[in-house]
């Protein structure tokens, strides 16, 4: 019986370095990303793909503002922007993956699902926005945008500039989980829960309502991996292994992390809140619930033997 692996693609799956985010750049990067997945597919894994959307959804919001300012086109709320980004990114990944499968003479269906994710409307995250979206700005640019749009900006932990931040509530339930699981078990490659999913909450009579927020993609991917009973959870980022003292002379790469060790290092402040911390927390959540291993690594290791940092019980 085939094993199911949930793969959370990092931000560099579509946009890298100082790229501006053109379609040609994103398509080239998505093709490179999908080529790294072929080895897993050849090994017989059934894969479910999730992805980030920070730069893309930020650009969609900026287009909203520009359209309103010049042409009075109605602004779309953040949840609609997230759904837009899910469709666009999913389409790029889906098409490039189909092309990669075709060149490798592998016959598989690939489907993208716009995925809603349940959150609590009273989540404390709505009082303290922390999730970065959009591009990086100089401090002066961020101050002007904050003043004109009532947005909130915070400095990037890696000193790359200032980014807009929005609420990031905890994901409670992946609403499409049953059909995602079914499609995967039937041998289809599923792209789901993009950008953490579209956040929704239940009102007093049980109806779904929209909410202005962005869910952390890694935490949502971890929840999805738990709910579809995945055999393995892989988080792809831009470094091959989790490190202590990251980018310092005494940097240490970690091959394996137990839950105890990971939680200890979190308390000691080794992982940045805007970078590695949510990935570690997502991995811990998966391992605690399932007892199976999670892996944090970069995409190129998928073509080898899944080298990276393994998080185990």
Instruction: Indicate the length of the chain as a whole number.
Output: 313
Angle made by CA atoms 219, 236, 109, in degrees to the nearest 5: 90
> Is there a catalytic annotation at residue 170?
no
Q: Which domains does the chain have, with CATH numbers?
A: 4-54+72-118+170-312 (3.40.1160.10)
- In the set 135, 194, 217, 241, the catalytic residue is 217
What tens digit of pLDDT does each residue of 125-181 get?
A: 999 998 888 778 999 999 998 998 888 999 988 788 999 899 999 999 999 999 999
What pLDDT does residue 20 have?
A: 82
User: Tokens representing 3?
Assistant: 């094993």
> Is there a catalytic annotation at residue 131?
yes
> Is there a catalytic annotation at residue 232?
no
> Is there a catalytic annotation at residue 310?
no
The 8 Å CB, 24+ separation contacts for 200-203 are 200/79, 200/116, 200/117, 200/118, 200/119, 200/175, 201/118, 201/119, 201/120, 201/121, 202/118
> Is there a catalytic annotation at residue 178?
no
What pLDDT does residue 93 have?
A: 96
DSSP per residue over 206-266, as a string? S-EEE-S----HHHHHHHHHHHTT-SEEEEEESSSS-EESTTSTT-EE-SEEEHHHHHHHH
pTM of the model: 0.92
Helices (H) and strands (E) in the chain, counts: 8, 17
Dist CA 90 CA 82 (whole Å): 12
- In the set 232, 241, 279, 310, the catalytic residue is 279
Dist CA 67 CA 81 (whole Å): 14
pLDDT along the chain (313 residues), means of 10: 91 78 90 92 95 88 87 93 96 97 97 98 94 86 89 88 93 97 97 97 97 94 98 93 93 97 96 88 98 93 82 97
- In the set 53, 58, 88, 131, the catalytic residue is 131
As a whole number of Å, the CA-based R_g of the chain is: 19
What residues pair up with 237 in beta bridges, in sequence order? 298
Dist CA 58 CA 38 (whole Å): 30
Give me the phi and psi of 222, to 5 degrees please: -60, -45
């Amino acid at each position: 019986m085939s094993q199911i692996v949930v793969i959370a693609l990092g931000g560099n799956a579509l946009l890298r370095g100082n790229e501006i985010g053109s379609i040609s750049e994103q398509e080239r990067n998505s093709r490179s990303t999908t080529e790294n997945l072929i080895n897993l597919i050849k090994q017989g894994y059934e894969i479910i793909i999730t992805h980030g959307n920070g730069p893309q959804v930020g650009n969609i919001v900026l287009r909203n503002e520009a359209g309103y300012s010049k042409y009075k086109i109605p602004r779309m709320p953040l949840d609609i922007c997230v759904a837009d980004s899910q469709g666009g990114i999913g389409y790029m990944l889906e098409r490039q993956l189909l092309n990669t499968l075709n060149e490798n003479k592998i016959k598989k269906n690939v489907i993208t699902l716009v995925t809603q994710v349940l959150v609590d409307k009273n989540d404390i995250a709505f009082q303290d926005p922390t999730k970065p979206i959009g591009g990086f700005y100089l401090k002066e640019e961020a101050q002007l945008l904050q003043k004109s749009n009532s947005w909130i900006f915070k400095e990037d932990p890696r000193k790359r500039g200032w980014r807009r931040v929005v609420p990031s509530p905890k994901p409670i339930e992946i609403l499409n989980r049953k059909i995602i699981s079914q499609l995967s078990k039937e041998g289809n490659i599923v792209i789901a829960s993009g950008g953490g999913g579209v956040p929704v909450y239940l009102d007093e009579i049980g109806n779904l309502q929209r909410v202005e927020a962005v869910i952390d993609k890694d935490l949502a991917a971890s929840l999805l991996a738990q709910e579809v009973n995945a055999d393995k959870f892989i988080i792809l980022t831009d470094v091959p292994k989790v490190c202590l003292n990251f980018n310092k002379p005494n940097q240490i790469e970690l091959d394996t992390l137990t839950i105890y060790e990971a939680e200890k290092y979190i308390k000691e402040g080794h992982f940045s809140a805007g970078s590695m911390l949510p990935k570690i927390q997502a991995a811990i959540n998966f391992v605690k619930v399932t007892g199976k291993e999670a892996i944090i690594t970069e995409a190129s290791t998928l073509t080898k033997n899944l080298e990276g940092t393994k998080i185990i019980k």
